[in-house]
Each structure stands twice: as structure tokens, then as C-alpha cells.
């Protein structure tokens, strides 16, 4: 069993559990936290109840409470990660480890089709879409970094979006945070 849950990235002095509904307690416990310069933090939240609670309106509410951009990275068994970013009205999303992401997206599509259709074709279509979408995701990530007061360039993010996990996809996410200009604090 790998790493599961969301890694929530925000700038705040207060703990995430004090700022966000659903965080803490038995349903969505906090399993870890990493500190970054400028009061940025990344918080690992596991889900034993509604795993989709940390999307859309939840992110919007958290961004409003903190007055800062927010990132949420949903990690599934250390294999695939879905990243969502929000700064102001700029919402974007992307996937890490495109090969595994294409298989997961194809699996979702195949299940919705009641396991009919050509799984390999679904996977190949998802892989082509992810490749085509990389420049948009990299540009959105650079905008997120600027809104967060950091400096980032698209080239290393483009490269990261094409990489396979080795061995864990959450490592790619922490590499993304580095490329976005977040600086870990000692012991953080």
C-alpha cells in the first residue's frame, strides 16, 4: 500500500485544520506537514470519508480564508497524482506520471462505458491528450507561482510533466513545488 490522500499547499500561519472544513478528526486526519519559506506549508491529509471533499468549492473557500493561492495534489497509491491549482479565479489541473495517468483516465472511461470499448484506444487517446495539454499546465503552474510571489519558468515544469515516477509519484509533486519556487525550511 502506497501513499494516499491529498497534499494541500497553502500559505497560512494557522494549521490547516483550523482553516478548512473536513480536515482533522477520523474522517480526514493530517498525516504529515512540510514547511516552506514565507509561511507556505504542504499538508498530507488522508481520507477515510469522502475523498472528493477537497475540490472546487473547498479550494475556493480555503483560498479566500488564507488570501493566497492553493494547490491540492491527490495521490493514489504512490502511482498517479492529480494536481489542482487555484489563484484568484485561475483554476487549473494536470496529472503527474503521464503513462500511469493515461491508464487511470482510460480505466475511468472504460468503467463508465460499462467495460465496453477498446481500453488500449482509450489509454492512447488519454496519453495523446496529456501530451498535448503539457504546455497549458506548465503555463498555468508558472502563473500560480507568480500569484504566490515566487519565480518559475515553464521548461523544467514541462519536463517534469513528462517524467515517470521513480519510484513514487509524490516525489514528482515535491519536485514541482521546487520548480514553482517554494523553498523548504530547515527541518521542514
In a domain, 48, yes or no: yes
pLDDT value at residue 51? 64
Structural domain of residue 22, as residue ranges?
5-179
In a domain, 77, yes or no: yes
CA-to-CA distance for 65 and 129, rounded, in angstroms?
Answer: 34
pLDDT value at residue 159? 97
pLDDT value at residue 52? 66
CA-to-CA distance for 60 and 177, rounded, in angstroms?
Answer: 20
pLDDT value at residue 35? 94
CA-to-CA distance for 184 and 41, rounded, in angstroms?
Answer: 9
In a domain, 184, yes or no: no
In a domain, 187, yes or no: no
Within 13 Å and on the Cβ side, how many CA atoms surround 133? 17
In a domain, 185, yes or no: no
In a domain, 28, yes or no: yes
The predicted model scores a pTM of: 0.91
Beta bridge partners of 11: 40
CA-to-CA distance for 122 and 140, rounded, in angstroms?
Answer: 26
Total domains in the chain come to 1
**pLDDT less than 50: residues of the chain:** none
In a domain, 76, yes or no: yes
CA-to-CA distance for 151 and 17, rounded, in angstroms?
Answer: 28
pLDDT value at residue 58? 82
Per residue in 140-177, pLDDT tens? 999 999 999 999 999 999 999 999 999 999 999 999 99
Amino acid at each position: 500500500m502506497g501513499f494516499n490522500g491529498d497534499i494541500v499547499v497553502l500559505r497560512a500561519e494557522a494549521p490547516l485544520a483550523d482553516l478548512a472544513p473536513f480536515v482533522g478528526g477520523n474522517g480526514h486526519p493530517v498525516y504529515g506537514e512540510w514547511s516552506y519559506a514565507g509561511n507556505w506549508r504542504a499538508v498530507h491529509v488522508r481520507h477515510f470519508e469522502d475523498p472528493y471533499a477537497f475540490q472546487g468549492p473547498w479550494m475556493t473557500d480555503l483560498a479566500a480564508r488564507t488570501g493566497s493561492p492553493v494547490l491540492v495534489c491527490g495521490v493514489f497509491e504512490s502511482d498517479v497524482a492529480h494536481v489542482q491549482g487555484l489563484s484568484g479565479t485561475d483554476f487549473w489541473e494536470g496529472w503527474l506520471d503521464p503513462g500511469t495517468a493515461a491508464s487511470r483516465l482510460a480505466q475511468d472511461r472504460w468503467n463508465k462505458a460499462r467495460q465496453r470499448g477498446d481500453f488500449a484506444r482509450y489509454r492512447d487517446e488519454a496519453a495523446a491528450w496529456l501530451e498535448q495539454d503539457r504546455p497549458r499546465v506548465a503555463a498555468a503552474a508558472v502563473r500560480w507561482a507568480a500569484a504566490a510571489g515566487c519565480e518559475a519558468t515553464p521548461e523544467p515544469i514541462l519536463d517534469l510533466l513528462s517524467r515517470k515516477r521513480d519510484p513514487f509519484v509524490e516525489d514528482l509533486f515535491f519536485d514541482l513545488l521546487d520548480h514553482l519556487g517554494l523553498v523548504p525550511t530547515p527541518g521542514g
